[in-house]
Amino acid sequence: MHHCILADCEGGHHGWSNLCHAARRHFGRRTKLWATFNEINVQTFCSYIYGSFPPAKFFRFGTAGRIFLHMYQAHVAAYEAIKAAPGALLFIGF
């Protein structure tokens, strides 16, 4: 899911939180293991410092820091949204 809305992380984590609430409502009974993000450090480095992932920015250290923070905040919001599902197990990959 996160690849589809990654650009929204620049504006904060609220859109991601809403999407996670919807996913929990739809898939919650059938899903036990949830991963909010995978390797947010790699995603931000490759997108805003090295420039190999979209939006392909180079040496934007301040932006990379903000994006990393927003993605981490989005993880926390997703955790809160998903943990309400009975028996849900969550993780974030680094």
- Give the model confidence (pLDDT) of 29-42 as tens digits: 788 788 777 788 88
Please state the domain count of the chain: 1
Whether 63 has a pLDDT exceeding 80, the answer reads: yes
* Predicted pLDDT at 51: 92
3-class state of residue 6 by DSSP = helix
CB 83 within 8 A of CB 76: no
Q: What domain range includes position 70?
A: 2-93
Tell me what the pLDDT averaged over the chain comes to: 78
Mean pLDDT of 12-28: 73
* Predicted pLDDT at 35: 79
Nearest alpha carbon to residue 50 among 40, 60, 65, 37: 60
* Predicted pLDDT at 12: 54
